[in-house]
């Protein structure tokens, strides 16, 4: 047992024999490292695309869902609104076929019953709190209410802006 305390003493003595030059070199090779961090005291948003897929037939209703995810500081009160998109006609949301210039109407809802339109109007915004985790996900319910034979084939698209007020 006396040998275990003896070996650290030998190592210490060997370091002392090296002299100050080993430590002086290490001291001459220093540099400063800066550190920083940013804390978000509000919210950030990520929205997934809303895909209706390939539509068939001469008429019908097509529905789909997507997700809006918020990452906030803890316990932040917020309201989420969706504008009417780039191709709106008043309050009517429309996707546009860039090849033909045709439009296809659609709606976006905040409830699974497809009854509450999600927009920028005060009563059509979705509000809440981020709670202790700071993470909140919302399902977006999209619907193409009807289309008929006059709608020409092609790809229709639009872009909606998601706004968070906190």
Q: Report the SS3 class of residue 128.
A: strand
pTM of the model: 0.74
pLDDT of residue 7: 41
Does the pLDDT value for residue 71 go beyond 60?
yes
Structural domains of the chain ordered from first start? 43-165 (2.60.40.1090)
Distance CA 56, CA 39 (A): 48
Q: Is residue 127 a contact partner of residue 80, using CB atoms and an 8 Å limit?
A: yes
- Per this entry, what is the length of the chain? 166
Q: Is the model's pLDDT at 12 over the cut of 80?
A: no
Tell the residue number behind the tokens 């319910």, with chain if given.
141
Work out the pLDDT band at 106, boundaries 50, 70, 90. very high
DSSP code of residue 87: T
pLDDT-above-90 percentage for the chain? 60
pLDDT of residue 8: 42
Band (pLDDT 50/70/90 cuts) for residue 153 is confident
């Amino acid at each position: 047992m006396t040998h275990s305390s003896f070996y650290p003493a030998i190592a210490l003595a060997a370091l002392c024999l090296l002299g100050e030059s080993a430590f002086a070199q290490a001291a001459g090779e220093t540099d400063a490292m800066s550190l920083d961090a940013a804390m978000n005291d509000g919210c950030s948003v990520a929205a997934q695309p809303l895909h209706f897929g390939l539509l068939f037939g001469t008429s019908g209703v097509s529905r789909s869902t997507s997700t809006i995810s918020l990452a906030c500081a803890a316990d932040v009160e917020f309201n989420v609104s969706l504008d009417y998109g780039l191709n709106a006609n008043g309050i009517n949301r429309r996707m546009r076929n860039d090849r033909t210039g045709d439009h296809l109407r659609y709606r976006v809802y905040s409830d699974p019953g497809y009854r509450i339109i999600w927009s920028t109007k005060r009563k059509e915004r979705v509000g809440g709190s981020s709670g202790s985790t700071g993470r909140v996900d919302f399902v977006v319910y999209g619907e193409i209410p009807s289309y008929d034979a006059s709608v020409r084939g092609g790809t229709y698209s639009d872009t909606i802006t998601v706004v968070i007020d906190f």
